[in-house]
Amino acid sequence: MSRSPDRPEPVRLAAEIVAEIEALPLRNTPEVRAVRRSYSGRLKGADATYVLGLARDLLRRYGARWVAYELIAAHAEAFRSLGAAELEEFGQGMDSWSAVDTFARTLSGPAWRDGLVDDVLIHRWARSEDRWWRRAALVSTVALNMRSHGGTGDVRRTLDVCQMLVSDRDDMVVKA
Q: What is the structure's pLDDT at 169?
A: 94
Q: What is the structure's pLDDT at 5?
A: 52
- Higher-pLDDT residue of 44 and 7 is 44
The mean per-residue pLDDT over the stretch 123-152 comes to: 95
Does the pLDDT at position 129 exceed 90? yes
Task: Name the pTM for this structure.
Answer: 0.93
CA atoms within 13 A on the CB side of 162: 11
DSSP state of 83: -
**What is the CA 170 to chain-centroid distance, rounded?**
23
Confidence of residue 127 (pLDDT cuts 50, 70, 90): very high
* Cα separations in angstroms, 58 against 48, 55, 120, 162: 15, 5, 29, 32
Q: What is the structure's pLDDT at 165?
A: 96
The mean per-residue pLDDT over the stretch 149-174 comes to: 94
Count the Cβ atoms, other than its own, within 10 Å of residue 62: 17
Answer whether 100's CB lies under 8 Å from 139's CB: yes
Spatial neighbors of 176 by CB under 8 A, at least 6 apart, are 97, 100, 101, 135, 138, 139
Does the pLDDT at position 1 exceed 80? no
pLDDT digits (tens, 9 = 90+) for 50-71: 999 999 999 999 999 999 999 9
pLDDT digits (tens, 9 = 90+) for 4-39: 556 789 999 999 999 999 999 999 999 999 999 999
Q: What is the structure's pLDDT at 34?
A: 97
First to last CA, the chain: 37
